[in-house]
């Protein structure tokens, strides 16, 4: 990488901090608490600012380019969200303030709970979980407790379709339950015959099933009503993985379809930043029979309009400190209020339209296993091209970086060999979609004519092609300083 490291620009004696004079009595630190001299980098303020500003510009971001990362919904994060989250009356609150002094913030959370419940057709919502995966864990623990309290403690099996995100089986295991995989049928829907056989096999040990709809193939599972019925008839519950909710906002309500519980990824559907792994929000909605099991405290509203924290009667307990990632909740609230009901529906219509536009332009250029179906907000192509036997998905993804696009999600879902999962989101213009399609078409041609160009890509990025296995196995996080 061309950029110098911070230790390479430091010079002894330079500094970027100017602390005020001490205005309290000095108190020496106990000697045994000191670790000796720390070799911290010594740099001037301007060098420091330039260093980190340059580093920040090396990253691809939604604010600087198209980010078609399937299943992640990397939509534009409107600046008005940031404005609202930074308002002093919201940003400067302390989570331990008493309820009288934070009624406004509690009203915002209560409204958000109600809006999310209404949008997805659920009776109640918790805002505590910090991510989608955390919401899944919360939801499955709720399902388990509900069944155990009914005396059905023998139930320990959850069915997960083979197209599911890895967090679904991980959640199941973390909840102490057993994962049983259900295959997808050739059309991309859950294989109903296989599901019936699994339900018959596991009988009264079934806790339920986790279903992502639209699924990770970007398809609306047309058998959803039957899947729900089969699981419910067997005494199980159905968990909705709401990571793909961006495709059906204002069009379908999972709660009304019969899902018992679902998480929302506020950092996908509701435009809050993904931010390097967090903070996020995986709010969870439940049908009426599960409302008492939600983690708490949640915000309740008295008849006189006073908001207070309330622990649901049979709560699974807390799943996070305090009240959830409040700043993220403010952003999601702002986003929903800015759009209104009609705007939310338009989000999904445009997300689906954009994905179908790209799918139509790439049909015949790349294999698209379910390309005969209308896709939802994303679709899955394959990096296998006739006439380019050495080229794979990784080569295509790396070459896209030379065209200044973030690569789509690759090698997921696992059931599609050489998968390239493309999700444009509703926030992109036709010009951007066309530029991306042109690049994909050009790359397919290069793959046949100049495959070496793909094999050695990326060529223009600060970091070139990495040995991904060595990078993972021999990770070096420390730099030995040579400060002059």
Ligand X SMILES: Cc1ncc(COP(=O)(O)O)c(C=O)c1O
DSSP assigned state of 20:
P
Residues 6+ apart with CB under 8 A from 140: 158, 171, 172, 175, 177, 207, 210, 239
- Check binding of 132 to ligand X (CB under 6 A): yes
Between residue 142 and residue 171, which ones bind ligand X under the rule CB under 6 A?
Answer: 165, 167
- Pick the piece of the chain touching ligand X (CB under 6 A) from 129-137, 367-375, 434-442, 461-469: 129-137
CA distance readout (Å), 340 to 115, 344, 347, 363, 441:
10, 6, 11, 35, 38
Q: Are 70 and 266 in contact (CB under 8 A)?
A: no
Q: Cβ of residue 409: shortest distance to ligand X, in angstroms? A: 8
The reply to whether 295 sits near ligand X by the rule CB under 6 A is no
Instruction: Assess 172 for contact with ligand X (CB under 6 A).
Output: no
Is position 133 an interface residue for ligand X (rule: CB under 6 A)?
Answer: yes
Which one of the spans 95-103, 127-135, 145-153, 458-466 is the region binding ligand X (CB under 6 A)? 127-135
Residue from the set 265, 348, 392, 427 that interacts with ligand X by CB under 6 A? 265
Min dist. Cβ of residue 69 to ligand X (A): 9
The verdict on 423 binding ligand X (CB under 6 A) reads no
Establish if 377 lies at the interface with ligand X (CB under 6 A). Answer: no
Q: Give the residues across from 161 on adjacent strands.
A: 182
216 binds ligand X (CB under 6 A): yes
The answer to the question of residue 282 lying near ligand X (CB under 6 A) is: yes
Burial 145-170 (b: 16+ CB within 10 A, else e): bbbeeeebeebbbbbbbebbbebbbe
Q: Which helix (H) or strand (E) holds 473?
A: helix 468-473
Q: Choose the stretch contacting ligand X; rule: CB under 6 A; options: 128-136, 400-408, 453-461, 476-484.
A: 128-136
Kindly state whether residue 212 participates in binding ligand X, applying the rule CB under 6 A.
yes
Q: Is the dihedral of CA 278, 355, 216, 363 positive or negative?
A: negative
Residue 208 and residue 140: Cα distance in Å, rounded?
A: 9
475 sits in which H/E element:
none
CA distance 9 to 191: 60
Q: Which two tokens stand for residue 149?
A: 């309290």
Nearer to ligand X by Cβ, of 6 and 211: the residue is 211
Say how far apart CA 398 and CA 400 lie, in whole Å.
Answer: 5
Stretch that binds ligand X, among 48-56, 125-133, 193-201, 285-293 (CB under 6 A): 125-133
In what helix (H) or strand (E) does residue 237 lie, and over which residues does it extend? Answer: strand 237-242
Q: Binding ligand X by CB under 6 A: which of 72, 137, 286, 437?
A: 72
In whole angstroms, the minimum distance from the beta carbon of 104 to ligand X comes to 28
Q: Least Å distance between CB 359 and ligand X? A: 19
- What is the spatial distance between Cα 167 and Cα 165, in angstroms, rounded to a whole number? 5
Nearer Cβ to ligand X (175/443): 175
Q: Segment 2-31, which members bind ligand X (CB under 6 A)?
A: none
| Contact residue for ligand X among 131, 157, 190, 358 (CB under 6 A) | 131
User: Which 425-444 residues touch ligand X, going by CB under 6 A?
Assistant: none
Tell the smallest beta-carbon distance from residue 165 to ligand X (Å): 3
List helix spans (H) across 59-102: 79-85, 88-91
443 three-state secondary structure = helix
Residue 361: burial class (beta carbons within 10 Å; 0-12, 13-18, 19+): middle
For residues 25 and 4, what is the distance between their CA atoms, to the nearest angstrom? 41
The answer for 36, left when phi > 0, alpha when psi is -120 to 50, beta otherwise, is left
Does residue 184 belong to the site contacting ligand X (CB under 6 A)?
A: no
In this chain, which of 41, 139, 214, 280 binds ligand X, going by CB under 6 A?
280
As measured in angstroms, the least distance from the Cβ of 131 to ligand X is 4
Residues in the interface with ligand X (CB under 6 A) total 14
Find the residue with minimal CB distance to ligand X.
132
Integer-rounded Cα Rg, in Å, for the chain is 25
Q: Does 332 bind ligand X (CB under 6 A)?
A: no
Binding mask 301-320 for ligand X (x = CB under 6 A): --------------------
Question: Using the rule CB under 6 A, which residue among 6, 9, 67, 71 binds ligand X?
Answer: 71
Please name every residue paired with 382 in a beta bridge, in sequence order, or none if there are none. 419
Nearest to ligand X of 133, 332 (CB atom): 133
Q: What share of the chain is helix, strand, coil (3-state, %, to 5)?
A: 40, 10, 50
Pairing between strand 409-410 and 379-382?
unpaired
Count CB-CB contacts under 10 A for residue 464.
12
Per CB under 6 A, contacts with ligand X among 218-247 are: 241, 243
Q: Identify which of residues 265 and 348 has a Cβ nearer to ligand X in the complex.
A: 265
Least Cβ distance, residue 212 to ligand X (angstroms): 5
Where does this chain touch ligand X (CB under 6 A) — which range of 93-101, 103-111, 126-134, 303-311? 126-134
Under the rule (CB under 6 A), what is the footprint of ligand X? Answer: 71-72, 131-133, 165, 167, 212, 216, 241, 243, 265, 280, 282
């Amino acid at each position: 990488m061309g950029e110098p490291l911070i230790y390479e620009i430091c010079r002894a004696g330079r500094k970027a901090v100017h602390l005020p004079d001490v205005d309290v009595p000095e108190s020496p630190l106990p000697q045994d608490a000191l670790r000796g001299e720390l070799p911290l980098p010594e740099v001037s303020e301007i060098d420091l600012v330039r260093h980190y500003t340059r580093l920040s510009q090396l990253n691809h971001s939604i604010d600087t380019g198209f980010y078609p990362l399937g299943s992640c919904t990397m939509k534009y994060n409107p600046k008005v969200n940031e404005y609202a989250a930074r308002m002093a009356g919201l940003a400067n609150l302390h989570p331990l303030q008493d309820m009288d002094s934070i009624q406004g913030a509690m009203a915002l959370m209560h409204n958000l709970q109600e809006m999310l419940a209404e949008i997805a057709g659920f009776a109640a919502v918790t805002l505590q979980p910090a991510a989608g995966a955390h919401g899944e864990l919360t939801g499955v623990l709720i399902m388990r407790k509900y069944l155990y309290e009914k005396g059905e403690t023998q139930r320990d099996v959850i069915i997960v379709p083979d197209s599911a995100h890895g967090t679904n089986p991980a959640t199941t295991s973390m909840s102490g339950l057993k994962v049983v995989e259900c295959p997808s049928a050739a059309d991309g829907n859950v294989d109903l015959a296989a599901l019936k056989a699994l339900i018959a096999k596991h009988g009264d040990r079934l806790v339920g099933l986790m279903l992502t709809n639209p699924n990770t193939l970007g398809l609306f599972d047309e058998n959803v009503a039957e899947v729900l019925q089969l699981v419910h008839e067997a005494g199980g519950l159905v968990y909705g993985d709401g990571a793909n909710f961006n495709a059906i906002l204002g069009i379908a309500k999972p709660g009304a379809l019969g899902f018992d519980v679902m998480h929302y990824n506020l950092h996908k559907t509701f435009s809050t930043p993904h931010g390097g792994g967090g903070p996020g929000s995986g709010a969870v909605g439940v049908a009426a029979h599960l409302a008492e099991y939600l983690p708490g405290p949640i915000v309740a509203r008295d008849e006189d309009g006073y908001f207070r924290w309330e622990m649901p009667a049979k709560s699974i307990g807390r799943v996070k400190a305090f009240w959830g990632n409040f700043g993220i909740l403010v952003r999601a609230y702002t986003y929903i209020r800015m759009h209104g009901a009609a705007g939310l529906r338009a989000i999904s219509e445009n997300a689906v339209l954009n994905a179908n536009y790209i799918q139509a332009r790439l049909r015949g250029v790349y294999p698209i296993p379910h390309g005969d179906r209308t896709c939802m907000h994303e679709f899955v192509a394959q990096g296998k091209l006739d006439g380019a036997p050495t080229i794979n998905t990784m080569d295509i993804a790396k070459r896209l970086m030379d065209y200044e696009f973030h690569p789509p999600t690759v090698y997921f879902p696992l059931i599609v060999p050489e998968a390239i999962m493309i999700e444009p989101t509703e926030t992109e213009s036709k010009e951007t979609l066309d530029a991306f399609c042109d690049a994909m078409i050009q790359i397919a041609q290069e793959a046949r004519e100049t495959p070496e160009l793909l094999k050695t890509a990326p060529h223009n990025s600060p970091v070139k092609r990495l040995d991904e296995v060595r990078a993972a196995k021999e990770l070096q996080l420390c730099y030995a300083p040579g400060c002059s």
